A and B are shown apart, each in its own frame.
Chain A
Amino acid sequence: MTLTPEGVKQAFAERVGRPITDDVAQKVADSVGEVIDDLNAIDPAPMFLIEPNIVFDASYPEGEGSSGWQRSGSSSSAQSVK
């Protein structure tokens, strides 16, 4: 595991500037250590040309009816599944 309770306590002292208890350090190491390990285990190759992006791709059709589905279908079969 990347993070140990001791590592968490040291990082807190250096980065955050306040102490944390042994119990909290253990829980923090348990919770975020696994996540960071998972993150580091992901193959970085597919991400080489990827930029962090929370905006929708400009080519992504957006808006009402953007799926192209505009037909007004019958609901005559609706009752059969009731």
Chain B
Amino acid sequence: MAAIGELLKRPVSEVAPLVRSGQVSPVELVDATLETIERLEPKINAHITVLADQARLEAKSAERSIQGGRYLGPLHGIPLGIKDLLMTQGILTTGGSGAYADFVPDIDATTVTKLRQAGAVIVGKHNLHELGMGATNDNFTFGACHNPWQLGYIPGGSSGGTAAAVATSGCYGGLGTDTGASVRMPAACCGIVGLMPTYGRVSRYGCIALAWSLDHIGPITRTVTDAALMLNAIAGYDPLDATTRNVPVPDYTHGIDRGIDGMRVGIPTNYYNEKVHPEVAAAVQTAVDNLVELGAVLVDVSLPQLEHAFTAEITIGFAEAAAYHEQRLRERPEDYDPDVRVALEAGEMISATNYLKAQKIRTLIKHSFRMAMESVDVIATPTLPSPSVPIEQEQVLFDGQEEDVLRTMIRFTCPIDLSGQPAIAIPCGFTTEGLPVSLQLIGRPFDESTICRAARAYESATDWHTMLPEV
């Protein structure tokens, strides 16, 4: 059997059978994970709170349960992490903000409860862009989180700490939140997998909201199967979140290895081919060619109205965020990052008619995707138009034209937050600078199984998911 350090780099799907059989103890996994975190934290700064003592106790408890024949499933005894936007009972939950720096909730978020019920050991609360409101994860209160592939670059946001921790074996997987990109963007920047489920598939109860109608919670992992395993644990109706749908939850690992022979993959003829970094475009084209080799059938699809997605996203996101944080912002404005504070203040300037017009645009975008999905099973796009950027960089250059980093980094993902469909980001290459490139697969509502199957087919035929950063 591999040494414990090597086991930390393996996926949950390979380690779980060893835990179940008693060949590996959850105590060993947690101790090794905590040592990794301690070693890398000065370089990566992925954590706001490390739960060392509690994690060791939970690991011992898991070990006893498994030895006693009470195995709960593939996450039992596995070290996982949580974006610090999700509430944890009795444990500091900062939202990455000075305004919540002393907030200790008396509840667990439903997703945290479900991970605990599955036997997972929570080892840490991850750094993020303050309140989930940004792409860089350059956190005003807790410091910048660094991309493990290039330490001077952003890990993506807002779940950047989660992605950096997962990529560097600071946990086997983590929960992020995605309002405009924030599960898929950091996964893409860090060369790992990010799965945003359908809006309504996963409860958001106990999450510090950014924008209610756009927020999704999803897994960030090193492999597609691990994302499916985590989704199995967290998906489902929750009476505490009225937006969750009471629809059956399949086993997302079932049939995940069946391949994609005959699957219809939509290739957008507009929007997703505009203002793309040439190395990103080349890597994604190669990935699409790989899908064809695996049996996929390409179909051109048109996605009208997407050119208005960013405007709708910002209008809805800023307005909802301003409403959610209104009271705290008035009580302690000086505790917010000045840039985040400006965004929240900006939300106060959006009128009801602005907001409703943006929601109308959203309906048109949903219709656009619905029409496209009538002729295909999934749509393939780049996850991001650009690889990660240096932490201090504020603009990205496309064909001589500057674009704000936030707009660049959410341009290809935010349309899906607006439409509410599921989407998965998977690694598909590297730039010559050694920065990861990512492929996005978009599916039909509540059909996460199909995007997982397509992503797994691509993953099983390539090596990108086996490449981890040396920090």
- List the interface of chain A (C-beta within 8 A of B): 3, 8, 11-12, 15-16, 18, 20, 24, 27-28, 31-32, 35-36, 38-39, 42, 44, 46-47, 50-54, 56-57, 60-69, 71-75, 77-82
Cβ-neighbour of B294 out of A46, A56, A77 (below 8 A):
A77
Query: A28 and B373 in contact (CB under 8 A), knowing A35-B311, A52-B360, A73-B258?
Result: no
- CB neighbours (8 Å) of B338 from chain A are 24
A69 pairs with B361, CB closer than 8 A: no
- Closest approach, in angstroms, between the C-beta of A5 and any C-beta of chain B? 11
Query: A51 and B363 in contact (CB under 8 A), knowing A60-B444, A65-B449?
Result: yes
Could you tell me the dominant secondary structure of chain A's interface residues? loop
Chain B contributes a number of interface residues (CB within 8 A of A) equal to 67
A52 pairs with B359, CB closer than 8 A: yes
B366 pairs with A36, CB closer than 8 A: no
Query: A77 and B293 in contact (CB under 8 A), knowing A39-B315, A72-B259, A82-B462?
Result: yes
- Bound CA span A22–B446, Å: 47
Query: A75 and B373 in contact (CB under 8 A), knowing A35-B311, A67-B443, A81-B461?
Result: no
- Bound CA span A70–B462, Å: 24
- List the interface of chain B (C-beta within 8 A of A): 199, 213, 247-248, 250, 255, 257-264, 289-290, 293-295, 305, 308, 311-312, 314-315, 318, 330, 338, 341-343, 345-350, 354, 356-364, 366-367, 370, 373, 376-378, 420, 443-447, 449-450, 457, 460-463
Query: A75 and B364 in contact (CB under 8 A), knowing A15-B348, A54-B213?
Result: no
- Closest approach, in angstroms, between the C-beta of A21 and any C-beta of chain B? 10
Query: A47 and B357 in contact (CB under 8 A), knowing A8-B349, A28-B346, A75-B457?
Result: yes
B294 pairs with A75, CB closer than 8 A: yes
Give 5 nearest A-B pairs by CB, closest first: A73-B261, A52-B359, A32-B346, A75-B259, A67-B377
A67 pairs with B350, CB closer than 8 A: no
- Closest approach, in angstroms, between the C-beta of B353 and any C-beta of chain A? 9
- CB neighbours (8 Å) of B213 from chain A are 54
- CB neighbours (8 Å) of A18 from chain B are 330
B366 pairs with A53, CB closer than 8 A: yes
- Bound CA span A65–B247, Å: 14
B262 pairs with A71, CB closer than 8 A: yes
Query: A66 and B447 in contact (CB under 8 A), knowing A27-B342, A53-B359?
Result: yes
- CB neighbours (8 Å) of B354 from chain A are 36, 39
- CB neighbours (8 Å) of B341 from chain A are 24
A78 pairs with B346, CB closer than 8 A: no
- Closest approach, in angstroms, between the C-beta of B343 and any C-beta of chain A? 7
- CB neighbours (8 Å) of A82 from chain B are 461-463
Query: A71 and B261 in contact (CB under 8 A), knowing A39-B358, A60-B370, A63-B247?
Result: yes
- CB neighbours (8 Å) of B293 from chain A are 77, 80-81
B349 pairs with A79, CB closer than 8 A: no
- Closest approach, in angstroms, between the C-beta of A23 and any C-beta of chain B? 9
5 contacts between A and B (CB under 8 A): A12-B348, A31-B346, A75-B461, A80-B293, A81-B462
A62 pairs with B346, CB closer than 8 A: no
- Closest approach, in angstroms, between the C-beta of A43 and any C-beta of chain B? 10
- Bound CA span A46–B365, Å: 12
- Bound CA span A50–B359, Å: 10
Instruction: Give B307's nearest chain A residue, CB to CB.
Output: A42
- Bound CA span A68–B364, Å: 24
Instruction: Give A68's nearest chain B residue, CB to CB.
Output: B377
A50 pairs with B457, CB closer than 8 A: no
- CB neighbours (8 Å) of B447 from chain A are 62-67
Query: A62 and B446 in contact (CB under 8 A), knowing A24-B342, A42-B308, A79-B461?
Result: yes
B364 pairs with A50, CB closer than 8 A: yes
- Closest approach, in angstroms, between the C-beta of B126 and any C-beta of chain A? 27
B345 pairs with A24, CB closer than 8 A: yes
A11 pairs with B308, CB closer than 8 A: no
- Bound CA span A41–B359, Å: 15
- Bound CA span A47–B295, Å: 39
A74 pairs with B308, CB closer than 8 A: no
Extra A-B contacts (5), CB below 8 Å, given A65-B447, A73-B262:
A42-B311, A57-B370, A60-B373, A69-B263, A72-B259
Cβ-neighbour of B315 out of A8, A35, A54, A61 (below 8 A):
A35
